[in-house]
DNA sequence: CGAGGGTTTGAAGTGCATCAAATAGTGTGG
DNA sequence: CCACACTATTTGATGCACTTCAAACCCTCG
């Protein structure tokens, strides 16, 4: 497939552009470029002037910020078909986090000015953006709640449930999407804590761990364990299509 | 002032409606009602069907959710001129939190369908909503970061800075907006922890506490203490007009 | 004055972080 | 295919921050 085809196919399928007509989508595609970025490379840095936003075609991207004393706060870790950097249009064109590829990734780079000018005139796109934003807001809401009221093993359980097809009563086989250090950081804990918490989760729910694969006979025990300390009930409606649930 | 005047004056001044013409604003006002609610009363409950959203004219409102095991997660505590409940239009008209008056409050109640239909046609309003949402998103971002990297005394310091006029080098006199138990809950800590953390803050920065009044000779020591562990620098640009800063 | 809330203080426990070291896993060149 | 180096992961020991439970104190208001 040519670059142009990849760009077009990817953009077309995004919820953000779902309501746009072909002409609009083509306009975006024409101005977009496809780029590859190596593992560990930064795409942009917090506070930097923003001119483009991105869509992940392949690979994983880490969004984070750093404090004065050098500690890193992971904001999110995104797989393919996710958009990021677009919110800088509400931020005086300043990126409000840094972005780094955690494994070699392929990205679509789209000029921000296109989105900005489109928003002024295209109410469908604006509404779509609004919906996406609302979804993100809800996710963050949960993250904050979880951080406050769930403990480490429960947060891991919740994270695993998010990765699963989420049918009650079924067995479960999950492959951790990236290395355990990153999962730990994503969940706001130390690698050591992650390791121990996973062991505890094993004891409590009967799940089994082999390397980066997690098996469980029946998802229910995990739901019972993790979702007890959460304000939304299991299938986590309204959130299930996104990476954050529970 | 008549109810209609209060409604009109309040709505007119909201950022959300700043870009709307008088006709639109009048349309909203006509369909709105003014209501009073006693301290401790619920305005609506999480998961309830949503038909109206609200603007605070006077008093304080607590937004929260409860988990199965009964613990409460405070989402926010809002003073006058804040809008809440409006995000349920992105949620199948379900409130995604409960709302309770923490002291007798006066509120404007506006039908959600008005906002919904307006969004389809009025791109100015949609954009304004988008901006408000982006601002909330940023706030939440900070909250999460703070929860991760600031300790209890620092979080209190940050909270106090948010309440102040925020000029460097000046003395400071702050009155805690609501009772200490609530401040503690808002900051995600126990009342006992809050008390102890405040004592520590007193030792570290030289501020003085008399009941619910906080005095400080020079704001700088507080900034130095609290903002060290934060990824944004003091005046907290982009955030200073909202309740969350630092 | 005395009851009852809010607030502070004390003592003990829990959860997570940190530092250090052992072990498992992975890829490399021989 | 093995040995080595290097990294990821686990385990152990200790410390700190916050929570929890309990009791004292303080303040307000009937």
Q: What is the pTM of this model?
A: 0.88
The pLDDT value given to residue A221: 87
Mean pLDDT of A222-230: 84
Secondary structure of B186-233 as H, E, C letters: HCCCCHHHHHHHHHHHHHHHCCEEECCEEEECCHHHHHHHHHHHCCCC
Residue A49 has pLDDT above 70, yes or no: yes
Residues of chain B found within 8 Å of residue A136, distances taken between Cβ atoms: 137
Q: Average per-residue pLDDT in chain A?
A: 88
- Least CB-CB distance to B137: which of A133, A231, A238? A133
Higher local confidence (pLDDT), A212 or B180: B180
> Given pLDDT bands bounded at 50, 70 and 90, which one contains residue A235?
low
Q: Say if CB B115 and CB B126 are below 8 A apart.
A: no
For chain A, percent of residues with pLDDT exceeding 70: 91
Residue A244 has pLDDT above 50, yes or no: no
Residue B243 has pLDDT above 50, yes or no: no
Other C-beta atoms within 10 Å of B146: how many?
Answer: 23
Residue B236 has pLDDT above 80, yes or no: no
The pLDDT value given to residue B233: 56
Mean pLDDT of A14-32: 95
The pLDDT value given to residue B172: 80
Residue A237 has pLDDT above 90, yes or no: no
Give residue-wise pLDDT tens across range B125-169.
999 999 999 999 888 888 888 888 889 999 999 999 888 776 666
Give residue-wise pLDDT tens across range A78-117.
999 999 999 999 989 999 999 999 988 999 999 999 999 9
Within residues 192-221 of protein chain A, the ones with CB less than 7 A from nucleic strand D are 192, 194-196, 198-199, 209, 212
Tell me the two tokens of residue B201: 């803050």
- Least CB-CB distance to B46: which of A119, A120, A231? A231
Residues of chain B found within 8 Å of residue A123, distances taken between Cβ atoms: 120-121, 123, 126
For chain A, percent of residues with pLDDT exceeding 90: 57
> Given pLDDT bands bounded at 50, 70 and 90, which one contains residue B117?
very high
- Considering all nucleic acid strands, name the nucleotide whose C1' atom is nearest to the C-alpha of residue A192: D10
Distance C8 C1' – B228 CA (angstroms): 28
CA angle B130, B131, B133 (to 5 degrees): 65
Chain B residues contacting A via beta carbons under 8 Å: 46, 65-69, 71, 73, 75, 87, 90-92, 96, 119-121, 123, 126-127, 129-131, 133-138, 140-141, 143-145, 147-149, 188, 228-231, 238
Dihedral sign for Cα A90, A93, A97, A100, please: positive
Q: Where are the alpha helices (DSSP H) in chain A?
A: 3-13, 22-30, 112-121, 123-149, 152-163, 180-186, 191-205, 219-226
Q: Which of A5-19, A122-136, B228-242 has the highest mean pLDDT?
A: A5-19
Tell me the two tokens of residue B227: 């903002």
Other C-beta atoms within 10 Å of A242: how many?
Answer: 17
- Least CB-CB distance to B130: which of A68, A130, A147? A130
Instruction: Report DSSP state, residue A143.
Output: H
């Amino acid at each position: 497939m040519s670059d142009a085809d990849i760009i077009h196919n990817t953009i077309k399928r995004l919820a953000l552009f779902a309501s746009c007509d072909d002409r609009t989508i083509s306009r975006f595609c024409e101005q977009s470029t496809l780029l590859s970025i190596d593992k560990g490379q930064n795409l942009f840095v917090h506070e930097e002037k923003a001119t483009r936003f991105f869509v992940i075609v392949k690979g994983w991207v880490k969004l984070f910020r750093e404090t004065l004393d050098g500690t890193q706060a992971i904001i999110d870790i995104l797989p393919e078909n996710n958009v990021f950097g677009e919110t800088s249009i509400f931020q005086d064109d300043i990126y409000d986090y840094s972005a780094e590829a955690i494994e070699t990734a392929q990205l679509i780079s789209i000029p921000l000015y296109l989105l900005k000018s489109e928003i002024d005139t295209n109410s469908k796109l604006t509404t779509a953006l609004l919906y996406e934003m609302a979804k993100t807001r809800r996710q963050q809401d949960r993250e904050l709640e979880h951080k406050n009221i769930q403990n480490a093993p429960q947060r891991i359980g919740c994270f695993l449930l998010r990765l699963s097809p989420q049918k009650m009563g079924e067995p479960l086989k999950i492959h951790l999407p990236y290395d355990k250090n990153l999962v730990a950081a994503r969940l706001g804990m130390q690698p050591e804590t992650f390791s121990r918490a996973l062991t505890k989760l094993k004891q409590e729910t009967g799940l089994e761990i082999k390397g980066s694969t997690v098996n469980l006979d029946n998802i229910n025990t995990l739901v019972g364990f993790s979702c007890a300390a959460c304000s939304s009930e299991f299938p986590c409606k309204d959130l299930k299509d996104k990476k954050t649930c529970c």
